């Protein structure tokens, strides 16, 4: 199979597109970096005026918002697409075949990011791997991103931070339909409609999404670097209005996806692939080998012939997830109350290169919260319960049963309290809180935090954060498929939870034309969890590394409204990593430097938007410790020790036919950057065993698409 050749774009053409394309939507006002504004008002009390508190926000920490208009302008259909090209946020790909992905905040591993829906943490480590692409954004009012271990009140396991999906409350009848098609068999269809009821707070919304994409094999060896998928999503939201004084709403969402990776575009039929277990359908020479039939043993120089058929390189995942949430809120005078409940079931039927893995995970969440406003302060107290159960069945490629290899059950009741107060005539807001969880597997865990916001003047705000969080080891299967080659996972005798300490400072400027934000965040993780896979004795040990792992990130971002129709943005981040590489705590390479550019221009009915992200070189040998455990190409030569830098540039041109109807076209990855141009994501160890996780670059090249959207 030969790779698909795509037309070259000249530097002049690319430069012209960048000059007239863009970042922040000009039709959307520059958004505040904060979740809400803290407001105080003066009221006459006897002889004079005194500051009086109006409802305090639950979070004083800097929280970046991605608003509904920004989501629409980006053309995003899911959470991963909506969070691209943003300072401090990155999409981490952990497999070149199945494309297991999650969201990295401040360059920490993706498992430390907590995903919430309407403030409810109902996504687990397993569901965050394949489930994030199953979260449609056409039902969202906004996405709130808080970086750092400063969300301990409701999500102490958010060591890197949290991503909160705030769903729409329908206040007027509305609807939207979108259809899009592009290269590589890409097809999208989105539908959303909402109706208001007769009483305040009553509404009904329905949404659906159909999306398909063929596999992408950029080097023509027959092994795809981007998996094919067929995704179906549906959801319903119901606003119940006031019931006995409680404003209540319910959501139900379902995702169904089949993903086919590792077999190029040869077949998408699961049964056909699974039954093809012998022969060599691949051209290994196009993957970097010196001959088509296999690869070279790096130690002996001998040829190693491949004979595993399609099944030997295939990763097939059938994911089904259903979740429901219920939220009820009530205010009586100075008191407000919140009740929240959620239940989710995540099923995964997987085939990994001959191994079978079927998992079922259930999650439950309950919360009750009470807030009382005082003169210049507020007290919040509450109780919460989170339950998670994981069960698996399967067998390895040799037919050995390894059912239950990563089973676990966690029950975590918790209590929390928070005290907010104003000082310095309302310019200083302090948030002190603590949460205590009684973890069924690891005992009592307390997570305190302190958040401070100081308003220098109406434009300038400083924020300080100190926090502690924890994460209990759950399933590491998606990070290391090698556990399927063992019979049991043993927990080390001294296994404990991961503990994180975070400190941060941020300075923000916001006015009518400018948003500028710069800050530093420091996170230290003690007892980072790690798997040690012993395929000889068929045992995997789950333990902790002995030395701390620290991340220090400096970032800055600047948005400027040059004219009412032109917005420009620029940003950058630098991360220092400190860890003992011999313990291999970080398996996937992360960059030290990233840069960001964007612009947006509207000209009458036209709007043109571009995002550009530069990723600096990475010290590959440091991550995964392959400086001491060398990785090799398929021809037996060593892999790169440092990756090259590269740009990811996405651009989109839209034309508004009228107030309701829009047509658009765009190019993702304008420069056609792809890792296989430098080296394959496939790699060999010193004995010639093959793996698929040598990842530092992009797995999908240039992609051209067109679409239309109608709003009513």
The predicted pLDDT at position 475 comes to: 56
The predicted pLDDT at position 305 comes to: 97
Residues 210 and 407: their CA atoms lie apart, in Å, by 32
CB 169 within 8 A of CB 152: no
The predicted pLDDT at position 216 comes to: 94
* Structure tokens that stand for 292 in this block: 């088509």
Residues 705 and 211: their CA atoms lie apart, in Å, by 14
The predicted pLDDT at position 101 comes to: 86
pLDDT of 28 higher than 50: no
Residues 82 and 115: their CA atoms lie apart, in Å, by 14
Transcribe 39-102 into DSSP letters: -EEEEE-SSSEEEEE-PPPS--S--EEEEHHHHHHHT--BHHHHT-SBTTEEEEE--TTT--EE
Percent of the chain surpassing pLDDT 90: 66
CB 388 within 8 A of CB 406: no
The predicted pLDDT at position 27 comes to: 30
Give 489's pLDDT tier (boundaries 50, 70, 90).
confident
The predicted pLDDT at position 406 comes to: 83
- 396 secondary structure, DSSP code: -
C-alpha of 491 from chain center: 28
The predicted pLDDT at position 20 comes to: 33
Residue 647, beta-bridge partner list: 614
The predicted pLDDT at position 483 comes to: 65
Q: What angle do CA 706, 65, 24 make, to 5 degrees?
A: 45
pLDDT of 518 higher than 60: yes
Q: CA nearest 577: which of 600, 557, 549?
A: 549
Residues 109 and 102: their CA atoms lie apart, in Å, by 9
Average pLDDT (369-377) is 93
Measure the CA dihedral 577/583/585/590, to 10°.
Answer: 50
Average pLDDT (75-97) is 90
The predicted pLDDT at position 587 comes to: 85
The predicted pLDDT at position 203 comes to: 97
The predicted pLDDT at position 227 comes to: 93
The predicted pLDDT at position 532 comes to: 81
Residues 461 and 506: their CA atoms lie apart, in Å, by 8
The predicted pLDDT at position 152 comes to: 65
The predicted pLDDT at position 245 comes to: 93
Average pLDDT (686-698) is 93
Instruction: Report CA-CA distances (Å) from 248 to 240, 242, 337.
Output: 5, 7, 12
pLDDT of 16 higher than 90: no
Give 476's pLDDT tier (boundaries 50, 70, 90).
low
Q: CA nearest 62: which of 540, 438, 443, 451?
A: 451
The predicted pLDDT at position 244 comes to: 92
CB 138 within 8 A of CB 190: yes
Q: Which domains does the chain have, with CATH numbers?
A: 11-711 (2.40.170.20)
Percent of the chain surpassing pLDDT 70: 89
Average pLDDT (380-392) is 94
CB 538 within 8 A of CB 487: yes
The predicted pLDDT at position 625 comes to: 85
The predicted pLDDT at position 479 comes to: 52
- 406 secondary structure, DSSP code: T
pLDDT digits (tens, 9 = 90+) for 321-339: 999 999 999 999 999 999 9
* Structure tokens that stand for 15 in this block: 């430069």
pLDDT of 402 higher than 90: no
In this predicted model, which residue has the larger pLDDT, 7 or 675?
675
The predicted pLDDT at position 481 comes to: 58
E-only strand ranges, 623-694: 646-656, 661-668, 683-684, 690-691
| Number of H-type helices and E-type strands within the chain | 5, 37
Residues 627 and 383: their CA atoms lie apart, in Å, by 48
Residues 148 and 711: their CA atoms lie apart, in Å, by 37
The predicted pLDDT at position 29 comes to: 27
The predicted pLDDT at position 150 comes to: 62
The predicted pLDDT at position 24 comes to: 31
The predicted pLDDT at position 2 comes to: 41
* Structure tokens that stand for 323 in this block: 């979740």
Residues 624 and 94: their CA atoms lie apart, in Å, by 12
Instruction: Report CA-CA distances (Å) from 615 to 444, 470, 491, 671.
Output: 41, 30, 37, 14
CB 295 within 8 A of CB 284: yes
Helix (H) / strand (E) containing 464: strand 460-471
Q: CA nearest 74: which of 569, 593, 595?
A: 569
Q: CA nearest 225: which of 697, 703, 669, 705?
A: 697
pLDDT of 111 higher than 80: yes
pLDDT digits (tens, 9 = 90+) for 545-563: 999 999 999 999 999 999 9
E-only strand ranges, 353-459: 355-373, 377-395, 408-423, 428-439, 443-455
- Taking the alpha carbons at both ends of the chain, their separation in whole angstroms is 46
Give 595's pLDDT tier (boundaries 50, 70, 90).
very high
Average pLDDT (498-526) is 92
Between strands 460-471 and 488-491, the pairing is unpaired
Average pLDDT (108-137) is 82
Alpha helices in 159-277 (DSSP H): 270-275
Mean pLDDT value across the chain: 86
Give 637's pLDDT tier (boundaries 50, 70, 90).
very high
Burial level of 233, CB count in 10 A (0-12/13-18/19+)? buried
pTM: 0.88
Instruction: Report CA-CA distances (Å) from 400 to 150, 244, 285, 355, 487.
Output: 44, 57, 33, 9, 8
pLDDT of 447 higher than 80: yes
The predicted pLDDT at position 408 comes to: 87
Cβ within 8 Å of residue 561, ≥6 positions away: 26, 30, 512, 513, 514, 567
* Structure tokens that stand for 124 in this block: 């687990």
Q: CA nearest 584: which of 640, 611, 545, 558?
A: 545
Residues 678 and 697: their CA atoms lie apart, in Å, by 9
Between strands 566-578 and 593-603, the pairing is antiparallel
The predicted pLDDT at position 571 comes to: 96
The alpha carbons of the chain give a radius of gyration, in whole angstroms, of 26
Q: CA nearest 369: which of 408, 405, 417, 407?
A: 417
Average pLDDT (278-288) is 95
CB 547 within 8 A of CB 524: no
Q: CA nearest 329: which of 251, 250, 249, 247?
A: 247
Entry field: residues in the chain: 712
Average pLDDT (610-637) is 93
CB 254 within 8 A of CB 237: no
CB 135 within 8 A of CB 494: no
In this predicted model, which residue has the larger pLDDT, 340 or 6?
340
Average pLDDT (69-89) is 90
Residue 520, beta-bridge partner list: 505, 554
Give 541's pLDDT tier (boundaries 50, 70, 90).
confident
pLDDT of 49 higher than 90: no
Collapsed DSSP state (helix, strand, coil) of residue 133: helix
pLDDT digits (tens, 9 = 90+) for 136-161: 788 999 999 988 876 668 888 889 99
CB 195 within 8 A of CB 222: no
In this predicted model, which residue has the larger pLDDT, 458 or 433?
433
Give 1's pLDDT tier (boundaries 50, 70, 90).
very low
Per-residue burial over 82-104, b = 16 or more CB atoms within 10 Å of its CB, e = otherwise: bbbbbbbbbebbbbbbbbbbbbb
């Amino acid at each position: 199979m030969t790779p698909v050749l795509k037309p070259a774009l000249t530097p002049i053409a690319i430069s012209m597109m960048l000059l007239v394309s863009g970042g922040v939507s000009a039709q959307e006002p520059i958004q505040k970096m904060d979740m809400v504004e803290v407001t105080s008002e003066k009221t006459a009390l006897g002889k004079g005026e005194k500051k009086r508190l109006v409802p305090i926000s639950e979070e004083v920490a800097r929280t970046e918002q991605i608003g509904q208009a920004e989501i629409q302008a980006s053309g995003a259909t899911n959470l991963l697409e909506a969070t691209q090209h943003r300072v401090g946020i990155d999409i981490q790909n952990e497999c070149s075949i199945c494309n297991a992905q999650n969201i990295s905040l401040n360059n920490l591993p993706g498992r430390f990011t907590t995903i919430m829906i309407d403030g409810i943490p109902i996504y687990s480590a397993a569901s965050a791997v394949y489930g994030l692409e199953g979260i449609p954004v056409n039902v969202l009012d906004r996405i709130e991103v808080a970086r750092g271990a400063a969300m301990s009140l409701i999500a102490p396991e958010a060591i890197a931070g949290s991503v909160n999906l705030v769903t729409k409350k329908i206040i007027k009848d509305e609807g939207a339909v979108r259809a899009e098609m592009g290269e590589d068999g890409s097809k999208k269809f989105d539908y959303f409609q909402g109706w208001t009821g007769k009483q305040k707070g009553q509404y009904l919304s329905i949404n659906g999404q159909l999306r398909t994409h063929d596999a992408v094999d950029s080097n023509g060896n027959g092994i795809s670097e981007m998996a094919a998928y067929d995704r179906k999503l549906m959801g319903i939201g119901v606003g119940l209005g006031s019931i006995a004084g409680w404003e209540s709403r319910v959501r139900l969402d379902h995702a169904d996806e089949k993903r086919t990776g590792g077999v190029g575009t040869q077949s998408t039929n699961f049964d056909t692939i699974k039954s093809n277990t012998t022969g060599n359908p691949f051209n290994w020479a196009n993957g970097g080998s010196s001959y088509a039939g296999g690869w070279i043993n790096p130690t002996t120089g001998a040829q190693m012939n491949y004979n595993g058929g399609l099944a030997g390189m295939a990763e097939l995942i059938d994911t089904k997830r259903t979740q429901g949430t219920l939220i009820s809120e009530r205010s009586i005078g100075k008191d407000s109350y919140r009740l929240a409940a959620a239940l989710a079931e995540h099923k995964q039927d997987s085939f990994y290169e001959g191994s079978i893995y079927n998992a079922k995970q259930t999650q439950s969440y309950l919360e009750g919260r009470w807030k009382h406003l005082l003169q210049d302060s507020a007290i919040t107290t509450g109780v919460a319960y989170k339950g998670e159960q994981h069960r698996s069945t399967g067998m390895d490629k040799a037919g050995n049963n390894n059912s239950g290899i990563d089973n676990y059950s966690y029950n975590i009741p918790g209590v929390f309290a928070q005290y907010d107060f104003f000082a310095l005539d309302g310019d200083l807001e302090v948030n002190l809180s603590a949460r205590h969880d009684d973890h069924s597997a690891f005992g009592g865990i307390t997570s305190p935090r302190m958040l401070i916001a100081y308003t220098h003047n109406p434009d300038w705000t400083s924020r300080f954060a100190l926090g502690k969080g924890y994460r209990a080891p759950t399933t590491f299967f998606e990070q290391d498929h090698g556990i399927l080659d063992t019979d049991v996972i043993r927990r080390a005798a001294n296994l404990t939870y991961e503990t994180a300490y975070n400190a941060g400072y941020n300075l923000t400027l916001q006015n009518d034309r400018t948003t500028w934000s710069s800050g530093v965040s420091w996170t230290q993780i003690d007892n980072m969890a790690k798997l040690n896979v012993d395929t000889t004795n068929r045992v995997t040990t789950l333990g902790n590394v002995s030395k701390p792992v620290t991340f220090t990130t400096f970032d800055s971002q600047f948005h400027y409204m040059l004219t009412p129709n032109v917005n420009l943005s620029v940003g950058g981040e630098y991360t220092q990593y400190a860890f003992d590489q011999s313990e291999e705590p970080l398996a996937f390479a992360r960059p030290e430097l990233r840069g960001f550019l964007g612009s947006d221009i509207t000209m009458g009915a036209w709007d043109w938007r571009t995002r550009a992200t530069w990723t600096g070189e990475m010290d590959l040998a440091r991550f995964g410790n392959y400086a001491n455990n060398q990785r090799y190409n398929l021809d037996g030569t060593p892999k790169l020790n440092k990756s090259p830098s590269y740009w990811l540039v996405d651009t989109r041109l839209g034309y508004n036919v009228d107030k309701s109807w829009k047509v658009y076209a765009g190019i993702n990855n304008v420069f056609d950057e792809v890792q296989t141009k430098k080296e394959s994501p496939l790699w060999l160890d010193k004995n010639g065993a093959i793996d698929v996780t040598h990842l530092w670059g992009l797995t999908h090249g240039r992609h051209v698409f067109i679409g239309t959207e109608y709003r009513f």
